[in-house]
Structure 1
Amino acid sequence: MENQKANKLVDKILENLDKTGINKDTLVDDIKELRTYALDEKIPLVVKVLRLAYEHLEANSTFLIPILDDEPLDEEQEAGENDLDTPVESLKYLIALTKNLNNKGNIADLREYKDLLMRY
């Protein structure tokens, strides 16, 4: 997103996820606040994905959507060591995608997350 406050909030959310994992109460509030920035910037895809994400967190108390499938990042992961496929890592990836919306890959991944959340 273009708004510096929104990007600082993204950084705060990612930092909190690293420190405390999925703390539903603060996380939902932060995602709702981030969504208001997306509303202000008129980015409907981000507005929808963030709403679906916090509704999913409210309903499940965790993030049950797996991280998006991509090519293995290194040989260790090819050998089956996949530390990235956790609820925290998947949610961190989704939130991080909102920082750079000029990247077509990020937009495609946000659309995929939207589809997965809607089907869940």
Structure 2
Amino acid sequence: MENKAAIKLIDKILVNLDKTGINTDTLIDDIKQLRSYALEEQIPLVVKVLRLTYEHIEENNSFLIPILADAEDVEEEIDNEPVESLKYLLSLLKNLKNKINIADLKEYRDLLTNF
């Protein structure tokens, strides 16, 4: 994302995830705010992924989508998986010019849709 406020918000969310894990009280509001920046920048993929992400967290009180890099090796770091996966998803948003990031966002979109 290009918006400096959006990047600052992503960084804030990442720090909060490290400190408190998935704290739904603030996390969902922060993701909704981040989604509004994506709407302003007119990035449909990011808007959808963020909506699916906060709806998933609201329903499950966690982020149950495995981190893409470890999807094949599920046994590794099961305890930290939701936080690490969500942190990875959010970090993808910082550089949307990277084709791999876009591909991973599409994969997250599909995983969230089919969950």
Aligning the two structures, in what range does the TM-score lie when normalised by the shorter sequence?
A: over 0.9
**What fraction of aligned residue pairs are identical, expressed as a percent?**
69
C-alpha RMSD of the superposition? 2.1
- State the partner residue of 2:62: 62
Deviations 1:21-69 (A, max 9, x none): 0001100000000000000000000000000000000000000000003
1:81-100 matches, cutoff 5 A: 82-83=76-77, 86-100=81-95
Number of aligned residues = 114
1:10-25 matches, cutoff 5 A: 10-25=10-25
In 1: Cα distance, 2:63 partner to 2:46 partner: 17
In 2: Cα distance, 1:45 partner to 1:81 partner: 30
Unaligned runs of 5+ in 1: 73-77
Q: CA offset at residue 82 of structure 1?
A: 3.1
Q: Does 1:44 align with 2:44?
A: yes
In 1: Cα distance, 2:69 partner to 2:84 partner: 13
- State the partner residue of 2:107: 112
Unaligned runs of 5+ in 2: none
TM-score (norm 2): 0.92
In 1: Cα distance, 2:37 partner to 2:91 partner: 15
Q: CA offset at residue 93 of structure 1?
A: 0.4
Q: CA offset at residue 83 of structure 1?
A: 3.2
Q: CA offset at residue 81 of structure 1?
A: 7.9
TM-score (norm 1): 0.88
- State the partner residue of 1:75: none
1:1-12 matches, cutoff 5 A: 1-12=1-12
The structure with more radius of gyration: 1
SS at match of 1:116: helix
SS at match of 1:83: coil
